[in-house]
Amino acid sequence: MSIPIVTLLETDRVTVSDETGFTDAILDIEFDIPVAEYKVNVLGVSHDSGVLAHRGVKNVGTMRNYTVVEAKNITVADIRAFTGVLEATVDYTELYQEGNNQVNIYGRSVDTNEWGG
């Protein structure tokens, strides 16, 4: 059983501020195994600490957002887990100190329910 390992594939900027055009950073991330949930936290040391900047979760409850046409083509695996490249955003309002703010990315394994990053 595996704990997810995240890879930051790309970010459009490493510095964000309240200046127009620099207010957020888009992160392209990928996990080595399917994850049921992922979080991007600022200034935390674990998946449940710091400021939550972005969250993605997969469960049956998220299906209510799909149209009938979209739901028709969804598999159980699609409902259960994120795979492939995911996009997350960190906004300057989520940064609570001047200077460096560490951003941590965590994923929760579908199989073990354990968090990794």
pLDDT band at 58 (very low <50, low <70, confident <90, very high): confident
Amino acid occupying residue 71: A
Amino acid occupying residue 18: D
Computed over its alpha carbons, how large is the radius of gyration of the chain? 15
Residues in the chain: 117
Strand order in the sheet with 103-109: 51-57, 35-42, 103-109, 115-116
Residue 1, pLDDT score:
57
The pTM score is 0.85
